Homo-oligomer: A and B are copies of this chain.
């Protein structure tokens, strides 16, 4: 059996409370007593029981992180950023995968809330997010921060990227390479892709390039979605000469599809992704991308959440938007070819 405060107390002939206070550096304990307690605690390998402590204090120092896919290195990086911020503060991070499944997401949230986590960080897979619809959530009023994806019309704390700016940046870059038939592999409606689509359109219109609806196709979730969506684009009568993909895994799939069809990247089709996943410079063709500072994003989200947890006033809906950064690699570098 593990050592309890009580053991130390009887051992030293003091009261349980004295031990409790001494251990927590409570002010009103004499230096001498504290020293004795600490010493004995160490000797007995005392470790506080977090369960009991949580029950009494109503704080667990656990934070839940709900993400659609751990395998997607963007989210893994975000998760690491979160942990990096929270760990020194004494919070334990509990990560849950939803596989982009709304039902799974709801279940995970319920579970975490039932475990009385102190706060929640969520990259939601729900088209329109209603935590309010979560009875468990509502009753406990667990503070939460959304990341990466902000369902339209939802007022909430949010940390993400300037999606419209991102879309415009990527598209403008492709146009600057001399491409004119610029297509877009957009993400599912549930994601943050609407803003990127807007940015895409804006860049086109600013460059005076006509918008062709058939150039925007959706690349769902799966690992192969970029591949198949690209195949579709290639089969169009007027095949695109550039593609802006809403994330890097999709872009990687797109590159494969282009190469397999016998065409070249970027000569025939220039490609750019988003997210700057860590292996994107090692791909078949090193991938141009828009960096989203994933680690930083995680840290910011964690910071905001802690603020919410510790504030007595639940000052809702702050937004933190991280500026996108263009990273040019071979997959879109066409200028050189035209010299």
Shortest Cβ distance from residue A104 to the other chain B in the assembled complex, whole angstroms: 9
Shortest Cβ distance from residue A167 to the other chain B in the assembled complex, whole angstroms: 24
Q: Is A97 at the interface (CB under 8 A from chain B)?
A: yes
Which chain B residues border A76 with CB–CB below 8 Å?
Answer: 70-71, 73, 76
Which chain B residues border A112 with CB–CB below 8 Å?
Answer: 92
> How far, in angstroms, from A52 to B114 measured CA to CA in the complex?
11
Is there contact, CB below 8 Å, between A116 and B50?
A: yes
Is there contact, CB below 8 Å, between B45 and A136?
A: yes
A 135-148 binary contact with B (CB < 8 Å = 1; else 0): 11001100000000
Is there contact, CB below 8 Å, between B47 and A110?
A: yes
How many chain A residues touch B (CB < 8 A): the figure is 51
Q: Determine, out of A157-165, A199-207, A277-285, A318-326, the stretch whose residues face the partner at the interface.
A: A277-285
Q: Which of B1, B50, B95, B249 contacts A95 (CB 8 A)?
A: B95
Q: How many protomers of this protein does the assembly include?
A: 2
Shortest Cβ distance from residue A39 to the other chain B in the assembled complex, whole angstroms: 15
Q: Which of B92, B110, B252, B285 contacts A94 (CB 8 A)?
A: B92
Q: Is A269 at the interface (CB under 8 A from chain B)?
A: no
Q: Which of B48, B111, B139, B282 contacts A114 (CB 8 A)?
A: B48
Is there contact, CB below 8 Å, between B111 and A92?
A: yes
Is there contact, CB below 8 Å, between A47 and B113?
A: yes
Q: Determine, out of A77-85, A119-127, A182-190, A234-242, the stretch whose residues face the partner at the interface.
A: A77-85
Is there contact, CB below 8 Å, between B284 and A47?
A: no
Cβ < 8 Å to B, chain A residues 4-19: none
> How far, in angstroms, from A55 to B139 measured CA to CA in the complex?
23
* Closest 10 pairs between A and B when the two form their complex, measured CB to CB: A45-B135, A50-B115, A252-B282, A47-B114, A70-B76, A51-B54, A47-B136, A51-B55, A95-B95, A2-B139
22 chain-A/chain-B pairs, Cβ below 8 angstroms: A2-B136, A2-B140, A47-B113, A48-B114, A49-B116, A50-B114, A50-B115, A51-B54, A51-B55, A52-B55, A55-B55, A70-B70, A71-B80, A71-B278, A76-B76, A93-B95, A93-B96, A252-B279, A256-B282, A283-B283, A284-B284, A284-B285
